Amino acid sequence: MMLKSSVSFNQYVQRSATLLSPEFEEDQRQIDLDVPRAVLSICDFVLGHAVSSEDNVPSELVEPIMPRIRNVLVAFSVRNPSVGYVQGHADVVCFLLGKGTATCDEEQAFWLYVCVMERVFPHDFFARSPRLHGFHVPCGYNNLSFGSCLCCLVVMPTQIDLLLVCSLLACKWFVSLWVGELSTDVLVQVWDTMLTEPSGSVFHLLLGLEMFSLTLDDAKDRFHTTPDEFNSSLVYKLVQTKARGIAHVDARRILANAQTLYGINEEALEDMRSNVRREPRLRHAELVVLGRHTHFSMVELARFHDEFLFLRYFSKTCDRNKLRGLRLEHFEGVIARHFPCSLMQVRMLLAVLRLASAGILTNSGNAQILSTMSRGSPEERLQLLFRCSGITDDGNFPDALGSISALSGEIQYCISALLGKQV
């Protein structure tokens, strides 16, 4: 999984020393509280000596590791302020420092963390605003997929609320990125698959289905002989125990099951997410946040959301046998409405959208990009270009403009379209 950035890890850490915002200050406070609590994870993942209690762990062993954990977490908060710090992820960074790098390298651990947080999970799963929006959307599509797949495997007693169990475990597994929920050897396998396989971005969901199916397969005879002994709480514990006791996962077989057994791929999951986001409460929450971060009115944002959903489903009706997501050329009409310009200029702006979105088309991301492209100030537009041009964002607007001539022809056309000047 490739990731390009014009800002280095050390630059993010340096910026954290001077960054002033209420959100970042709260992140720093929570990081400073959580890092000292990660002693057990430091011992297990970094030092390689698992302990049951931190009472007898010498401080001189763990304290040198803590600044590295903090640097990774604050650097990510600076890079991705819409997410910030996710509580409990000090343990995740411990795992990456100890098992994701050969020399406990904090820079390597940082970029591994960024890849999973930004590319594997939905863009709003960990978002701090709207509150709980990122939780409800994935849990909604987890319920759809888990329920439809698992109910076909076994008939369970009526007192078991399978969707509740699925929601609780999915949240626990996915928010922790499986750290603490699998053995260390299996955890390494899972992260390696998520980061290196073409379908790695759906592997976390497939693995959850695997844990459920293994547990239900073990218990299906008991469901028939002693159904009264089961309830939702017991099934929750059985699945969690099964996951923690797994010694090996066959990643290739699980990924093969994505299509053959479950019919799951990235496009299918995005369709599920789109369906969940149509729910009025979640839709309103998303539009309110976009209203604070774009130049569009609520009416315009609602219309754009409707257009985005329509285009997704329109693209599928052209070939119902192929879930192929949303194509950029379908955005020509949307861009033409916001920009009274020629077809050639519209296609230039499509190039900006493709580069700035990194190929990941979401309603929220596209609304923010189009807002900047159509109504943003020259400075805002240049900041957008930092995301797709590789220019280092040092805050010096004239110097950045002076470096445009060194960029590729495609980027120069994009800059010409955005800034309205000859390059």
DSSP string, 369-423: HHHHHHH--HHHHHHHHHHHH-----S-HHHHHHTGGGS-HHHHHHHHHHH-S--
> What is the 8-class DSSP label of residue 117?
I
CATH number of 9-120, picked from 3.40.50, 3.90.1570, 1.10.3470, 1.10.8: 1.10.8
pLDDT 10s digit of each residue in the chain, 423 long?
A: 546 566 889 999 999 999 888 999 999 999 999 999 999 999 999 998 888 888 788 889 999 999 999 999 999 999 988 889 999 999 999 999 999 988 899 999 999 999 999 888 877 788 887 766 667 766 766 666 666 666 666 677 788 888 888 888 988 998 999 999 999 999 999 999 999 988 888 898 889 888 988 888 888 888 878 888 888 999 999 999 999 999 999 999 999 888 777 777 777 777 777 777 788 888 888 899 889 888 999 998 998 888 877 776 666 555 443 434 455 566 677 777 766 666 666 766 666 666 665 555 677 777 887 888 778 887 777 777 665 554 444 444 444 444 444 444 555 555 555 555 433
**Shortest CA distance to 72 belongs to which of 128, 134, 16?**
16
Q: Biggest alpha carbon distance in the chain?
A: 78
Structure confidence at residue 88 (pLDDT): 93
Beta carbons of 416 and 422 less than 8 angstroms apart: yes
Domain residue ranges of the chain, discontinuous segments joined by +: 9-120, 133-269, 278-419
Amino acid 202: pLDDT: 85
Q: What CA–CA distance (Å, rounded) separates 380 from 399?
A: 15
Q: What is the pLDDT of residue 200?
A: 86
- The tokens describing 238, both together, are 């059985």
**If you write DSSP's letter for every residue of 174-204 in order, what string do you get?**
HHTTTTTTS-HHHHHHHHHHHHHSTTGGGHH
Sign (positive or negative) of CA dihedral 238, 240, 245, 246:
positive
Q: For residue 113, which of 72, 174, 170, 71 has the smallest C-alpha distance? A: 72
